[in-house]
Chain A
Amino acid sequence: MFAQCADPASLEGLAWLMCYLTSGKHMLFYASFGTVLLLLAITAPIALLFGFGGALASRSRIAPLRWFGKLYTSMVRGVPDIIFFLFVPIALDQGLEWLRHQVLCDTDAPVRQGNDFVVCAAAKLPLSSSPPWVHDVYGFTLAVVAFSVVFGAFAANVLHGAMQAVPRAQLETAEAFGMSPRQVSRRVLIPQMWTYAVPGLSNLWMILIKATPLLFLLGVEDIVYWARELGGTKTSAFTYPHPDWRLYYFLAILVFYLLMTWVSERILGRLTRRLSAGQATMGGEALRKGPA
């Protein structure tokens, strides 16, 4: 990185540490914090969308849609999320490859041969000829889908509860004004439910933050991956030899997460206050009365 870092063996003390912490691999480590933030930024809205769909589906008047919604919202209750994180990417990958196999390959050979999953070269996802970054993006996308599916189910639970919590009288009034069910949903139910949904969604955001290190299990090169990679003992064959420093790397990650949750808690606290204003709830009443 810097000119004086050309020969690390001659460096000592702080200068060595400076050069060590700015080495190319460390830059990748710092960038992986961005990966985590990117995952959060992409997953949260998609999960909210999935949750919204799930909650609406579980209230639907069409029975199969309602069953699907109920199944989707209750699946996360009994099954650990890690199982979904392991299952969804590989199931999705195989599903897509199977579809491409049907379309692109002209063999009649079955996809499952004994203990192997075989598709022709043209059906591989991503193609084996594609550059490494395509593989990275593909892996990351699968991770995003897995996270969105699981957290969408969580969000569906929260939003379903919030929809139930909207006072029945509000909806009845809307009906009395002659609104159709669709209008009731759009004009009364959905705008009103957010204040009831915010505590649950805040919690969900915290759970999501704390689930991000599981990216490591999905084979994405995230902060846990780099912490293990960089922290492990480096013999003198390496440019920067050092003993086992994994503990320090994990401590850094711990601090990162503590900061993330602390900041989030602050922001969500303010948001809750904002949304409670003018609502017929305990929080809203406390705001109306002002500080006692």
Chain B
Amino acid sequence: MSCAQTITDYALRSIGIGERLLPRTDFDLCKQITLIGSGLIWNLYFAFFALLVGFFLATALAMAKTSGNPWLRKPADGFVFLFRGSPLFIQFFLAYETLVLLPRAGIEIFGFTVETSWLTKAWAGALIVLILNTTAYSAQIFHGALQSVPKGDIEAADAYGLTGWHKFRRVMWPTMLRLAWPSYTNEAIFLFHATTLVYFSGFPAFQQRGDALYYATYFADRTFNPFVAYPIVATYFIICTLILIGLFGMVNRRLNRHLPGAVTRLKYRPELVR
């Protein structure tokens, strides 16, 4: 079988397009690279949507954490403590065990039957856990940044007569993002790497549609050779991480564009804050 044939068969295997059965014999390099690359679609899917939704939720949560109203602040603190204080791996298990307890037939609300079975699927259930997890971590980062918004900026906004939404949107939020961005980049990388946990944590891979590490483990188990599959998946992740850093660096430059000389390059060096 030629490599081009393998690519047409397996490049989209992880989302159910192409060959039904996974390769069972002669696991050549082409097959491994194609199938593991196909699994990467899921990692990108989880990371993208978790970061997208988590970003907005985290902003709201950071505001709640900063708020003077204890009815807002205490629950926000509790949420952050719960998700930052426990391992993501356990959160996945717990979420899965909770979601399977929901009635199979769906829940009756106001005469409508709400389907619940989709929640136990990885694409929804695991995504929810990842969203909540990154929300908690990012909220902590944003909260720290909100605390360090310069007092002068707020006073200037007050002097201009900006209040409420306008003050937040035009003064506090841009500064908060600017200050939080290096740490937030770090969080995004952590989250992207955490997506590899999904298919090892209770959530089943429906019809063997798994992520990159799922397929890498499949190959490593079949061939008893960890020295091919794992370096392939590692290479994919290094490339994606570098792209991620590049994209976040672009945003960083835009956030700092009014401050000459303030742009420090986001580095390929872990800041171990998580």
Contact = CB atoms under 8 A, between A and B. Distances in A.
Interface of A: 74, 76-83, 86-87, 90-91, 94, 112, 115-117, 154, 157-158, 200, 203-204, 206-207, 209-214, 216-217, 224, 227, 231, 244, 246-247, 250-251, 253-254, 257-258, 261-262
11 contacts: A78-B238, A115-B225, A157-B269, A203-B272, A207-B274, A224-B89, A247-B94, A250-B93, A251-B94, A254-B86, A261-B85
Given A86-B217, A115-B27, A115-B224, A262 B85 contact: yes
A157 B269 CA distance: 8
Interface of B: 27, 81-82, 84-91, 93-94, 97-98, 101, 189, 193-194, 196-197, 200, 213, 216-217, 220, 222-227, 230, 233-234, 237-238, 241-242, 268-270, 272-274
Nearest to B238: A78
Given A203-B272, A212-B87, A83 B196 contact: yes
A140 B237 CA distance: 27
B122 to A, nearest CB: 16
Contacts, number: 121
Secondary structure at the A interface, as helix, strand, loop or mixed, is helix
A78 B86 contact: no
A161 to B, nearest CB: 8
Contact of A224 (B86, B93, B193, B268): B93
Given A115-B223, A157-B272, A258 B97 contact: no
Nearest to B98: A247
Nearest to B219: A115
A213 B90 contact: yes
Contacts of B222: 115
A77 B94 contact: no
Nearest to A211: B87
Contact of B85 (A211, A224, A258): A258
Contacts of B223: 115
Query: Which A-B residue pairs are the 9 nearest by beta carbons?
Result: A78-B238, A80-B193, A210-B87, A117-B224, A261-B85, A87-B230, A78-B241, A247-B97, A213-B89
B196 A82 contact: yes
Given A86-B216, A115-B224, A247-B98, 7 more contacts: A78-B234, A79-B237, A86-B230, A91-B227, A157-B269, A254-B90, A257-B85
Nearest to B91: A254
A207 B193 CA distance: 14
B90 A257 contact: yes
A87 B217 CA distance: 9
A81 B274 CA distance: 14
Contacts of A227: 93
Contacts of A203: 272-274
A66 B97 CA distance: 47
Given A115-B222, A207-B272, A211-B87, A258 B213 contact: no
B13 to A, nearest CB: 20
Contact of A78 (B213, B242, B272): B242
